[in-house]
Structure 1
Amino acid sequence: MKKIAAIVSIAITAFALVGAAPAYAQADAASTAAARELFDAMNYRTMMTGVMQQMSQSIGQSMRAGAEAGIKNNPNTTPEQKKEALAKMEAELPAAVAVLQGAMNDPAMIDDILTETVPLYARTYSADELKQITAFYRTPIGAKMLSTMPKLMAEAMQIGQQVAARRITPLMQKLQEKQSTK
């Protein structure tokens, strides 16, 4: 359970950091209005709902893979302990996944993300720049980009997870080996 809790904690932290915004100067009213117009043109709420659904669908597989790797690669456990830990993980994982999926599929979270992202865009771009971006998203290619974005983001996240796992797994094994020799 500790490994699952650690993975859940890492997943929540990573997810929070994706949306974390540094503090900048306050946005003016024109830029804020233009940012809202941009998000309407982007159909942002629908796009984010799609992104969250994609993430929600893959979170169980990602958590399982991470927990299994941690258990199987732990040099301090016997094969029997690994078998027991895998069985315990399988029993506890569905509840942890359900909690995360519930949070990720909560429409109120999309509302909060939208509310907190508008000022970020309004601080980053001028009202005129936001209007130009909005005009792009109202073109056929802009609309296509928006419609394909959730799928592309989900696939890109999977690629990122695979690349990170290939690099991080050997490092974690080395750390576990060092800890077992202490």
Structure 2
Amino acid sequence: MFASRALKAGVAALLLSLPLLAHADAAQETAAKELAATLNLDNMLPDLAQRTTASALPLLQEYFLKNKIKLSDAQQKKAQAGLKGYGDGIHKLATDYFGSAAVKTQFEQTVVKNFSAQFSADELKQINAFYKSAPGQKMLKLQPQIVNGIAGETLKTAEKSLLPKMQSAAETYGKTIAKK
């Protein structure tokens, strides 16, 4: 249930963040497609398939909870033995979906619409020129490392001050539940 809500919430947030009714002229469309190619945005679809596949186990758990199914030890062993096949099946569903011509076409249109809503054709050409330059290529290559470093340091700092507060809140809430 949580995974389904999280997936739905993520999709809703993504859809709400998209500019509505953006329209690209031919120059913007061409520049947006070129920038998307430079940024390797086509790699997003296989990544989305992989991320979607991660929902396989939570969806199965949601099914059991929703239908109030309690597995016996034998059924749990059987489920464990079949998990790889189940996961592979879900992965194939996701890969087939995100690899379909219709989704690829929709993705390309979404990329063009979103870039064109934010940038003129000239700006898109300038951005693309930067990303094709040596510093731009370096930025593309190092961006995940940089973002992960920033996130890691920020979380490390949060762990010192936020984690104790979260633990205290969990303890307080846990005590209210335990009183019943």
Normalised TM-score (structure 2): 0.53
Compute the displacement of 1:146 (Å): 2.7
| Residue 126 to residue 98, structure 1, CA distance change in 2 (3 Å) | same
Give the equivalent residue in structure 2 for 1:145.
139
Gaps of 5+ in 1: 68-80
Q: Please state if 1:45 is matched with 2:42.
A: yes
Give the RMSD, CA atoms, in angstroms.
Answer: 5.0
| Residue 127 to residue 98, structure 1, CA distance change in 2 (3 Å) | same
Give the equivalent residue in structure 2 for 1:36.
33
Counterparts of 1:8-157 in structure 2, within 5 Å, are 8-17=3-12, 19-20=14-15, 21-29=17-25, 30-46=27-43, 48-49=44-45, 51-52=47-48, 55=51, 59=54, 91=80, 95=86, 99=90, 102-103=93-94, 106-108=98-100, 109=103, 111-148=105-142, 151-152=144-145
Q: Quick one: higher RCO (CA 8 Å, sep 6+), 1 or 2?
A: 1
Q: What amino acid maps onto 2:112 in structure 1?
A: V
Does the CA-based 8 Å contact 1:56-1:104 persist in structure 2?
no
Q: What amino acid maps onto 2:11 in structure 1?
A: A
Structure number with bigger Rg: 2
Count residues with an aligned counterpart. Answer: 152
Does the CA-based 8 Å contact 2:24-2:112 persist in structure 1?
no
Does the CA-based 8 Å contact 1:54-1:154 persist in structure 2?
no
Whole-angstrom CA distance in 1 between matches of 2:179 and 2:34: 59
Any idea what SS the aligned residue of 1:144 has?
helix
Gaps of 5+ in 2: 62-69
Q: What amino acid maps onto 1:31 in structure 2?
A: Q
| Residue 54 to residue 137, structure 1, CA distance change in 2 (3 Å) | farther
Compute the displacement of 1:142 (Å): 1.6
Whole-angstrom CA distance in 1 between matches of 2:91 and 2:10: 11
Whole-angstrom CA distance in 1 between matches of 2:106 and 2:172: 40
Q: What amino acid maps onto 1:99 in structure 2?
A: I
Compute the displacement of 1:42 (Å): 1.8
| Residue 49 to residue 23, structure 1, CA distance change in 2 (3 Å) | closer
Whole-angstrom CA distance in 2 between matches of 1:111 and 1:174: 51
